Chains A and B, each alone.
Chain A
């Protein structure tokens, strides 16, 4: 039942030295089959320091105490036995069930098809690609998708591998294009040397608009239409080889109805948003986002604060880099955090456990220590700030108003049946209101718990990173949120405009608590690289916004001045200041 490719078990410490069983309190590396990773990650995800695949085997680094490893060794020993004889597999199952591990999970890990994770499932968030155009969609059966002036259903994508190119055929169905696209009309290698005899008389194409439409209606594939266009072009043969290639490329782009289904990633989504909806992400260009993630030292295991109004793209990018390790606190303005972009990343559900949220309107209270997360009215506060306070109360009032005249009417009338009907209605209304009230209470309770959890994370003021990218003035945001950072941690602020960042820079300099302040922007140029036709791409992006980055340090305490060394300090300090303001 259990078959492992690599039955040998080896223990290593972090320096790749082989260990004896007696020194197990060191990190241990286990050389074993790939499936062991799945097994171990279901049993003890928190114990796995590192797991990786090499060409011959899989290595698992684990941390823990001796008693834990005696169990682990026991498990490994059984697995080893299982390899030769399956009778002991029942032992393994009893052990696993004693560990409250679901048998199905283990079986799944065992029988896993190598490609199963590479296939598109219903409900997956994917990205469609055609040329340089991307669109993020969720795979839903029988749902019409419009992309690049084409409509189709994504039903056929389910079960196919990520990266498959589909042909859109009539009726909006997708057909996987299996064979590698054969190079275009390379047969007729006739070409001119220059364009001295090519006249633009507008008659070089013998097919008319109507002819082309007819071809399309006949259900001809894009490739075939392009071939028809080439054959019916009188000047095609006179064009230079390069011009021919360009012509084909242009026509292909217009007539070929192919679409590629990709797995979402920060790269693809950042390029997609920048291409499709730059306004939604404050014109944050992908290379600038890349700088932010690097300058912010975003990595697994840290605690990062994010304030963004970029549709969730920046938050998603941070979460991707954290890989589900550590925690992210999203500081949000208004009624709730915006996370549309995060959804498009299609993160596994456990990533949500690392994501927290905190309304920015409670920051001052939290800093002052007056935030009471147990208070019942905390939610009302939040609603008030968002102008939603009227929402829960006004319908109630309206209902009351409506009810009372009704009641009066009923009293005046003597018809008892009508009266009871109205009574019933009133009861139902009451019930509905109660249910709604209950739901609201639950929601409020959840919200309060979330707030309390985020407050706990923030209270230590020991966050490891701060990323700001919003349409708000960055200065108050930065000065407010930087207080939650531990010393010696990076922060990075994005703004579409430079001037607000100049203000941030000046204020931070005055206030202290930060070094290595840098105001930068980056510039990206794409190149066309083709034999004898290499040059920068003609059109380039004019601006991708600006960044202010720096590192926090401890702020000066008056105590320093009382130290004996302070006598000499002024002189040195002056020197220093001159240098810093340089």
Chain B
């Protein structure tokens, strides 16, 4: 297993995602002799997991069962240990496309945070790209670096523990794309510019507040960035339901011609398949500001 390459069978040291049921998952590290408790009972790694195919049904000790899934950046995003607020798949998808990431892209990112976006970037730029990620919080930086190694993507990423606003990304003239998710992105725009290739590239900044966006846009325009555009993307999840709509009883219809046949019985109803929106949904994550660095 690796986050950038599928494999068929579960091996020791792999990260596996235990699918327990609707919207209920847990990540585990597969180890010889280890056990994992779930609400359906215990999973014994040596017997139940190692050597099995990803995607198989595993029967737990209490007779319940779970599925064990191959990790992907999307599943990881839903299961990772939060050290910070994270970016979710909807925003990540748009960031990836709008930054024009593909195999071979060199990307700068700050901050690393919990590594939710980092994993998605690594998946996309492998096997020939590289991610330079900067995190000013030492413990988080170390934890992220450790995770990348465990997930076998360490060779694709360099984690730097420094302040991106003061010291930049630690590289110059190499990046095709830069992503910023920091409180004051406008202070890092200049560093973003110098980290990017001579022939230009794309930049994105994620900010929850419009004031941050305004300052960032000003800084981007000031540094000569073009095509500055700010968007917001939200995901609507539709829950599929079978609903029953009762029919009212209008009483006898044209009583003279058809006496009882067309009368709707009082318990009549119509069954239909439909979707309902969830009662509450994420209404705002952040504004995504994109820009192009022209060739200088």
Chain A interfacial positions (CB closer than 8 Å to B): 14-16, 27, 29, 48-55, 59, 61, 114-115, 118, 161-163, 180, 265-267, 270, 286-287, 289-291, 293-295, 297, 299-302, 320-325, 462, 464, 486-490, 498, 502-503, 505-506, 515-516, 518-527, 529, 531, 534, 546, 551-554, 556, 560, 563, 565-569, 571-573, 575-576, 579-580, 582
Contact = CB atoms under 8 A, between A and B. Distances in A.
B214 A531 contact: yes
Contact of B55 (A55, A287, A294, A552): A552
8 contacts: A50-B129, A50-B130, A180-B224, A297-B74, A486-B8, A490-B74, A527-B231, A527-B287
Given A49-B127, A502-B273, A515-B67, A291 B93 contact: yes
Interface string B45-58: 00000000111110
Contact of B4 (A29, A299, A580): A299
A264 B124 CA distance: 18
A270 B97 contact: yes
Contacts of A323: 102-104, 128
Given A572-B62, A572-B65, 18 more contacts: A163-B294, A180-B224, A287-B97, A297-B74, A300-B4, A301-B4, A325-B127, A487-B55, A488-B55, A488-B67, A502-B240, A529-B214, A534-B214, A552-B55, A553-B56, A560-B57, A565-B63, A569-B63
B199 interface: yes
B174 interface: yes
Contacts of A297: 72-74, 123
B273 A506 contact: yes
A16 B94 CA distance: 32
Nearest to A546: B238
Contacts of B173: 55
B184 interface: no
Interface in B195-217: 198-200, 210, 213-214, 217
B71 to A, nearest CB: 9
A23 B40 CA distance: 45
B165 interface: no
Given A325-B127, A515-B67, A572-B40, A267 B97 contact: yes
A277 B90 CA distance: 25
Nearest to B68: A488
A222 to B, nearest CB: 18
A569 B120 CA distance: 37
Contact of B97 (A293, A300, A573): A293
Contacts of B263: none
A209 B121 CA distance: 54
Contacts of A579: 21-22, 24
B203 to A, nearest CB: 13
B233 A522 contact: yes
Contact of A553 (B57, B72, B92, B240): B57
Interface stretch (B149-157, B245-253, B254-262): B149-157
A554 B236 contact: no
Contacts of A325: 103, 127
A14 B155 contact: yes
A68 B269 CA distance: 74
Contacts of A300: 4, 103, 126-128
Interface in B247-294: 273-275, 287, 289, 294
A109 B8 CA distance: 38
A521 B89 contact: no
A516 B19 contact: yes
Nearest to A164: B295
B142 interface: no
Interface in B14-45: 19, 21-22, 24, 40
Contacts of A566: 63
Nearest to A509: B240
Chain B, interface residues (CB within 8 Å), range = 35 or more
Contacts of A529: 213-214, 217, 228, 230, 289
B26 to A, nearest CB: 14
B190 interface: no
Contact of B275 (A52, A299, A488, A498): A498
B93 A299 contact: no
Contacts of B62: 568, 572
Question: Interface SS of chain A: helix, strand, loop or mixed?
Answer: mixed
B94 A519 contact: no
A180 B223 CA distance: 13
Contacts of A521: 235-236, 238
A552 to B, nearest CB: 6
B100 A267 contact: yes
A499 to B, nearest CB: 8
Nearest to A517: B240
Interface-central residue, B55, B174, B218, by most chain A CB under 10 Å: B55
A49 to B, nearest CB: 6
B283 to A, nearest CB: 11
Nearest to A582: B22
Contacts of B198: 114
B273 A294 contact: no
Contacts of A490: 72, 74
A293 B72 CA distance: 13
Given A301-B4, A488-B70, A575 B64 contact: yes
A568 B63 CA distance: 5
Given A50-B127, A286-B97, A295 B106 contact: no
A552 B68 CA distance: 11
Contacts of A299: 4, 103, 123-124, 126
Interface centre among A48, A287, A505 (most CB of B within 10 A): A287
Given A301-B4, A489-B6, A571-B63, A294 B96 contact: yes
B63 A580 contact: no
A52 B67 contact: no
Contacts of A554: 53, 55-57
Contacts of A575: 64
Nearest to A488: B55
B84 interface: no
Contacts of A162: 199
B139 interface: no
Contacts of B73: 297
Nearest to A499: B273
A527 B207 CA distance: 13
Nearest to A180: B224
A525 B97 contact: no
Contacts of A553: 19, 55-57, 67, 69
Nearest to A321: B102
A61 B274 CA distance: 52
A139 B252 CA distance: 75
B98 interface: yes
A569 B65 contact: yes
A354 to B, nearest CB: 12
A383 B96 CA distance: 41
Contacts of A518: 237
B55 A486 contact: yes
A287 B90 CA distance: 9
Contact of B53 (A27, A161, A487, A580): A487
Contact of B21 (A14, A526, A576): A576
Contacts of A295: 74, 89, 93
A287 B40 contact: no
A488 B21 contact: no
A523 B236 contact: yes
B74 A294 contact: yes
